[in-house]
Chain A
Amino acid sequence: MHELSVTESILTIAKRHAEENNALRVTDIHIVIGDLSSIIDDSVQFYWDIISDKSICAGAKLHFQRVPAQAKCLDCENQYSLQERLSPCPTCGSARIKIIKGEEFYLDSIEIER
């Protein structure tokens, strides 16, 4: 739902780095999104096409690398992946768990022409 503000941030960061590197054009943008970060790729792409228009990033292809969610049990230290829903530790049954992967949300890199 908040993809517009998020997409604006992506554009701001990409433009800044493109200018610092004297780019003529940005061709590709690589974004890392954890599965728990509640960001929808299609929605970002939709806003991207509109707001990047006429900028140095116009026409750049967005690549989304999804990171699956992973939890660590605070009692037995077992690490396991969280699929469809939140679940207690499959080894010892403890509900004391910590999310260790899946909340990532960062701009990894851009590809530029210069």
Chain B
Amino acid sequence: MTVQRIPIIEKIMDANDQIAANNQKKLDDAGIFAINLMASPGAGKTSLILQTIRALAPDLKIGVIEGDTAPVTIDADKVLAEGMPAVQINTGGECHLDAMMISNALDQLPLDSIDLLIVENVGNLICPAAFKLGTHTNVLIASVPEGDDKPYKYTNIYRGLEVLVVNKIDLLPYIPFNMDYFRQGVELLNPGLVTFPISCSSGEGVTAWITWLQGRVKQQKSRGK
């Protein structure tokens, strides 16, 4: 019997990353722009999705994949009530969505008629950052009541972002939240990050987010189909 060391050097997330690449190809072929929407629980992911649907319908068809750790359809039901296709994923206690879950969900959506796909990840600031889904861009919602120190504590999620939405700015007069301190933390992790301060309840700032989205959907359309 001999003992031997076998060099491997293989990324541990490789299997997930390959499925993610397939997902992206499927989305590209259909001309769909897809975002991975991440945030802590209660930051306003579903509220932003509903605001977005109301602002963009009926010009754009929006598909939604809802990720939750429990077998509930609360979020998907809200999207369906707006007349848009939705798939609910129950992760069975897992703390994040992965590329395989998205692959299965894509098979259940009418991809030919969708312009924009929003994936609502499980409410969590740690694990979703580690799993590529095949979406085109990562968007994080930070909300004022969470506190201004979150970029310093949850560094990984901020580093992979294309857009940051700061929600619940209507609460700024009532909560100690130092916007300069918050922004400095973000700047260290992701210099020049596109940031939209908004309030889903008052509607303030939502237009800027919608305009950005429209631009990206249009860009993707001209590339696909």
Residues of A within 8 A of B10 (CB): 13, 106-107
Output the residue of A18, A37, A74 with the most chain B CB within 10 A: A37
B4 touches A2 (CB 8 A): no
Taken together as a complex, chains A and B put the C-alpha atoms of A97 and B155 apart, in Å, by 13
A109 with B2, Cβ < 8 A, contacts A2-B94, A10-B12, A95-B187 known: no
Taken together as a complex, chains A and B put the C-alpha atoms of A85 and B8 apart, in Å, by 32
Closest approach, in angstroms, between the C-beta of A83 and any C-beta of chain B? Answer: 13
Residues of A within 8 A of B129 (CB): 38
B7 touches A109 (CB 8 A): yes
Taken together as a complex, chains A and B put the C-alpha atoms of A86 and B7 apart, in Å, by 33
Q: How does the 8 Å CB contact mask read for A1-19 relative to B, with 1 for contact and 0 for none?
A: 1100110011011000110
Give the interface SS of chain A, mostly helix, strand, loop or mixed: mixed
Taken together as a complex, chains A and B put the C-alpha atoms of A6 and B17 apart, in Å, by 13
Q: Which of A88-108 contact B (CB under 8 A)?
A: 88, 95-97, 99, 105-108
Closest approach, in angstroms, between the C-beta of B197 and any C-beta of chain A? Answer: 19
B98 touches A5 (CB 8 A): yes
Residue of chain A at shortest CB distance from B4 = A112
B126 touches A1 (CB 8 A): yes
B11 on the A face (CB < 8 A): yes
A107 touches B12 (CB 8 A): yes
A105 touches B8 (CB 8 A): no
Q: How does the 8 Å CB contact mask read for B4-16 relative to A, with 1 for contact and 0 for none?
A: 1111111111111
The interface size of chain A toward B, counting residues with CB under 8 Å, comes to 36
A97 touches B188 (CB 8 A): yes
B95 on the A face (CB < 8 A): yes
A112 touches B127 (CB 8 A): no
B7 touches A114 (CB 8 A): no
Residues of B within 8 A of A57 (CB): none
B94 touches A74 (CB 8 A): no
A86 with B12, Cβ < 8 A, contacts A1-B95, A2-B130, A114-B4 known: no
A85 with B95, Cβ < 8 A, contacts A2-B130, A111-B4 known: no
Residues of A within 8 A of B3 (CB): 27, 111-113
B185 on the A face (CB < 8 A): yes
Residues of B within 8 A of A21 (CB): 4, 6
Q: How does the 8 Å CB contact mask read for A56-67 relative to B, with 1 for contact and 0 for none?
A: 000000000000
Residue of chain A at shortest CB distance from B192 = A96
Output the residue of B2, B10, B95, B159 with the most chain A CB within 10 A: B10
Residue of chain A at shortest CB distance from B157 = A38
Residues of A within 8 A of B152 (CB): 85-86
Can you list 7 contacts pairing A with B, beta carbon distance less than 8 Å?
A: A9-B14, A38-B129, A38-B130, A99-B159, A106-B9, A113-B1, A114-B4
A residues with CB within 8 A of B: 1-2, 5-6, 9-10, 12-13, 17-18, 21, 24, 27, 31, 36-38, 74, 85-88, 95-97, 99, 105-114
B residues with CB within 8 A of A: 1-16, 94-96, 98, 124, 126-127, 129-131, 152, 155-156, 159, 184-185, 187-189, 191
Closest 5 CB pairs of A and B: A2-B127, A96-B191, A1-B95, A95-B187, A109-B7
